[in-house]
């Protein structure tokens, strides 16, 4: 078997997320698998590094798949981009070690969340950002973000249903920048639970609006209890970068 790694960009606005849902083809994974299966002449399954939610975008999603016969990387890329919808693009196709696994070989992931923080809307980024009309206190948000750095049980900041899997994740960094009304929150960690990034951003927004105290975050983490709070809208979230260990990379 020949193993190939894909670098993918997509606008997730009209899809039900990355992960294939039974017979529902309206997912990123489903669209790509259908095209690859047509190309190969038999069923192809792809493995994605991150299962982005409905409405979430990717600047650099990574996936891998296997073929029974070797094909030129350029031919695979050309075929995919010819038949995929225009809101899904394959930037690169690379032949990799047969043991390379897009999910298991991941070292860390970076997500970026975009907030348009002006009273008026921005028609050019409204589908790719969350609009917050009231002025956000960026310094308070930066201070609040420090409570998430390090290794924590993030049960309180997730909607993950499984109780068998560990809810412990490590956040390496959170950076907040504002330029001309656009706030970008970059979060890098070893992994993320279902809705975890959007819930973290939601709390940071509430702190920035003065609706939540900074010191309350530590208590939320410690409680491991899910709480009713703002969850940031999906359209502002982008999977920005995925890093891998050198093991099993050609």
Q: What CATH number corresponds to the domain at position 222? A: 3.30.70.660
* Domain termination residue (choose one: 104, 133, 153): 104
Residues 127 and 152 in one domain: yes
Neighbours of 119 (CB within 10 A): 10
Residues 177 and 78 in one domain: no
Q: Is residue 54 part of a domain?
A: yes
Sign of the alpha-carbon torsion through 156, 158, 161, 165: negative
Residues 88 and 119 in one domain: no
Residues 226 and 174 in one domain: yes
Query: Crossing angle for the helix pair 138-145 and 196-208, nearest 10 degrees?
Result: 140
pTM greater than the 0.85 cutoff = yes
Q: Is residue 248 part of a domain?
A: no
Residues 111 and 90 in one domain: no
Residue 17 CB partners (closer than 8 Å, separation 6+): 27, 28, 51, 52, 53, 54, 55, 56
Residues 136 and 192 in one domain: yes
Instruction: Give residue 73's domain range.
Output: 2-104
Active site residues: 53
Each of the 250 residues of the chain gets a pLDDT tens digit; together they read 999 999 999 999 999 999 988 766 799 999 999 999 999 999 999 999 999 999 999 999 999 999 999 999 999 999 999 999 999 999 999 999 999 999 999 999 999 999 999 999 999 999 999 999 999 999 999 999 999 999 999 999 998 776 668 999 999 999 999 999 999 999 999 999 999 999 999 999 999 999 999 999 999 999 988 877 789 999 999 999 999 976 655 5
Q: How many domains would you assign to the chain?
A: 2
């Amino acid at each position: 078997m020949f193993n190939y790694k894909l670098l993918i960009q997509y606008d997730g606005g009209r899809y039900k997320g990355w992960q294939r849902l039974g017979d529902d083809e309206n997912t990123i994974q489903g669209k790509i698998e259908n095209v690859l299966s047509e190309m190969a002449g038999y069923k192809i399954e792809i493995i994605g590094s991150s299962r982005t939610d409905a409405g979430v975008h990717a600047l650099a999603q990574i996936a891998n798949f296997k073929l029974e016969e070797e094909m030129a990387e350029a031919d695979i890329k050309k075929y995919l981009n010819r038949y995929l919808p225009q809101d899904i693009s394959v930037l690169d196709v690379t032949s990799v070690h047969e043991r390379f696994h897009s999910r298991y070989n991941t070292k860390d992931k970076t997500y970026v969340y975009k907030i348009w923080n002006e009273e008026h809307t921005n028609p050019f980024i409204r589908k790719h950002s969350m609009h917050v009309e009231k002025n956000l206190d960026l310094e308070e948000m930066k201070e609040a973000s420090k409570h998430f750095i390090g290794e924590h049980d993030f049960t309180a900041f997730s909607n993950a249903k499984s109780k068998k899997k560990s809810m412990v994740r490590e956040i390496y960094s959170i950076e907040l920048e504002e330029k001309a009304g656009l706030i970008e929150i970059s979060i890098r960690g070893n992994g993320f639970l279902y809705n975890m990034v959007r819930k973290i951003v939601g709390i940071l927004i509430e702190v920035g609006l003065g609706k939540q105290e900074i010191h309350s975050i530590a208590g939320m983490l410690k409680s491991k209890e899910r709480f009713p709070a703002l969850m940031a809208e999906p359209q502002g979230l982008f999977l920005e970068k995925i890093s891998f260990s050198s093991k099993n990379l050609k």
